[in-house]
Every structure is written in C-alpha cells, then in structure tokens.
Amino acid sequence: MIPGAMPPAVVLVLPKSGYRNDDFLAAAKRLGAEVIVASDVCHQLADEWAAAPVALRFRDAQAAADELARAVRERKPVAVIGVDDLTALVATLTSARLRLPHNPAEAVAAARSKALSRAKMRDADVAVPRFEVASRDIGGDDLEALLQRAPYPCVVKPLVLSGSRGVIRADDPQALRAALKRVAALLSSPDVAQRRDADLERVLIEEFVPGPEVALEGLLMRGHLHALAIFDKPDPLDGPYFEETIYVTPSRHPAPLQDAIAREVSRGCAALGLAEGPVHAELRLSPSGPRILEIAARSIGGLCGRALRFGVGVTLEELILRHALGMTGDPPPREKRASGVVMLPIRRRGVLEEVRGVEEARHVPLVEDVAITAHLREELVPLPEGASYLGFAFARGDTPEQVEQALRQAAARIEAVVTPRLSVT
C-alpha cells in the first residue's frame, strides 16, 4: 500500500456460525485493509469489528445482494468476499451490482448445487460419477423403479448441504429405501427447511466410486487454476456415512496422478464457468482415473485452512484477500514442511458436558494446536444428520507420514463426554 494512501476497503460476508470468520478478519487486519462486515442479523461480532456490521438475511441471496450493494456503495469497496457456499453467492451477486471483479453468478450457483454442477461437468466430458436426481418424497411405482435401476452400491446426497451431511451409502434396494427416507426427514427438519431452497425438494443418487479420496485447494486467476495444495485423505471413506477425518499435504500420490488431478479440476472449473478466486475440490481416485465429486466456489471449510501456509508464513485467508485486493501476482508456493489437520468427529448424540484429553493432545510431538469448536451444554449430533465437528487438531513435520501419525495420536487422546438429552412429553 502507498504510504499515506487510504487503505482499500473489502466487504467480508460472514455467516453467523462460520468457523472461519475470525481467520478472515485477522488476515484483513494483517493486510491493513478497511473491513466492512456483512452478516446475519443476529450475528454478534467482537472487538473492533462490532462497530457497524451490515445486517442481512441470507435466505434470499438476490435480496441480500441488493441490500448489501446499497449499504456499501458509498464506501467504494474493491472486493466482496464470501466464506462459504451461500455467502459466496451473495458476494458474487453484490460484486456484479457494484461492478467489481467476480465469477458469473450462474457459475457460483451451479457449484452450490450437486445436480447442476454434475450435469455441467458431464456435458463437458469431465469425469463425474453416474447420477440421477429424484424427488425427496419419491414413492409408489417411481420409487420401485428407482430401487431396481440404481447402480449399487450407490450414494444418496442432498443437493445443497455440505460437510457430508445427509450423505449415505446404500448397497441394495432395502438400504436405498431407508437412506431416501432418512435424507427426506433431514431435509424437512426445521433447521434445514428454513433455507427455502428449491433444491431441498430433490436428492441425488449416484454410483459409489471406489478408490482413495483427495482434496485440491486452488486459486483461479483469469481462468487459470493455481493448485495450492493437494490433500490426501488417508482414512478410507467407504460409508455407510462419509465422515471427514484426516487431511495431509503434500500428497503422497505419484506426481503424474497429482498432475491429472489438477488438470481435471481445471476442466471442471471451466465447465462450471468459474474463472476467479478460491476453489475447493473433492475427488475420488478411481481405477480409471480421477473423478470429481465436488467443486466449490470457496476455499476449504471448517478450520482446515489453518493447515496451510505459503511463502513466508502467509495464511490461506491472507492469500485469498491479497488476490481479491489486487495485491499479488502468482501465489507463492506452499511451505516445504508437511502439514495436516484432523477433524474431530462427533461419535455420540447428546449434550456436551466435558472434553477430556485436550492438553495431552497438544503435547503430542509435532502437534501445533487443538481447537475445540463445540460449546459446553451444546447438543452434539453425529453424521449423517449432524452439521458440525467437535473441533480440529493441527500438526506439522518433515514428512506426511509423521504428520499423519501425530494427528492420529492427538485424536486418540480426546474424548467428548455427553449426556443424552431427555425428550419432553
């Protein structure tokens, strides 16, 4: 920034329960940017960020973008950034109204929908699982026909939920019938139904793709994908639910396969129409090559971004903001050390009374931090209905193997003590 010049203004669109809000705010502070916060009407912000947030309702992305553009236009922001699937759409729509650089809104909307994204990529000959879309309330002859033609083993997925929520494997017609019923109940539950999204009325049924899973973190610049990191997921994700656990980078897969992963994600971004900003992709490494499960127009979720550093200590959030503010050329390479994160799963449903073993986990060699994000007296719900983690642990070391071992040791030391919530009659 030029000495004496006014700092650039950036709008951060933050969900009230976003894991990464503080990390983006801290990155903006390090860069000296003027921050304009927009969030849910009930979101409480801390410290200096609480001055004058723009209160929005995210249920209607178009209306939220109209309101946000009116509220910030006079402050002349140079970028509007969302941090999850819904706020990314609000940010893109707002950027269009303010004539700021942005992805096409239809591309971001397609990335949010598993049905639209798969259709667009399939039509562009990008490798995706075979799939079909059905009504969540399918029944009668239509249900019986679906049960007969489904490609077993198959996977049932809500179209718009994330974090493996509602994702269930079915190996036969009886299991598929039960999975459809369970996902329909989830989509009609109050906390999900309040989203009022048309995609909540349908579900995806796709073939189960065998093979290990990986994630790619990338940054698009004028349509060119910079692969920032490829994470291995060393735990098999074979169902019946698909609980994310350990991410480790750099990948241990052969370099030609890693190149193929990046090429396929680049093709997938082009098929969706994404050209600018962060992307997070999930893939299965099938016997016939990489197959894309998801490309999101945002960076990695949860607190997993803390596992990444670039150049000399640059965080992922800072890298995203530097790009949005036009403060950098090509992104610097990821640090040389291996790193990783373990998402601490919720094993049992109940009210959280205590988390044991956190200090012991922090003292495991190579573990840098343990962050417990669940709150005491909060009701914990495991997958497939649940939507959160107990917390996260992070490690760095000389090799991916060392990092993976440290994360497993840390996770084994942590125990959530819960009591069942008594139903009221």
174 within a domain of the structure (yes/no):
yes
- Per-residue burial over 298-319, b = 16 or more CB atoms within 10 Å of its CB, e = otherwise: bbbbbbbbbbbbbeeebbbbbb
Q: How much is the pLDDT for 51?
A: 55
Distance CA 111, CA 89 (A): 10
16: domain range?
9-109
The reply to whether 347 and 425 lie within a common domain is: yes
Q: How much is the pLDDT for 2?
A: 46
The reply to whether 105 and 167 lie within a common domain is: no
Helix axes 21-31, 316-324, angle to 10 degrees: 60
Q: How much is the pLDDT for 181?
A: 97
Q: How much is the pLDDT for 41?
A: 62
Residue 361 sits in a domain of what CATH number?
Answer: 3.30.470.20
Residue 66 sits in a domain of what CATH number?
Answer: 3.40.50.20
Between the alpha carbon of residue 321 and those of residues 87, 93, 303, 330, the distances in Å are: 15, 18, 17, 13
* CB contact set of 5 (below 8 Å; sequence gap of 6+): none
Q: How much is the pLDDT for 17?
A: 76
Number of structural domains the chain divides into = 3
Helix (H, G, I), strand (E, B) or coil at 146: helix
Residue 192 sits in a domain of what CATH number?
Answer: 3.30.1490.20
Q: How much is the pLDDT for 4?
A: 45
The reply to whether 154 and 100 lie within a common domain is: no
376 within a domain of the structure (yes/no):
yes
pLDDT tens per residue, range 350-379: 999 999 999 999 999 999 999 999 999 999
Residue ranges for the chain with pLDDT beneath 50: 1-4, 43, 46-48, 50, 424-425
Q: How much is the pLDDT for 421?
A: 74
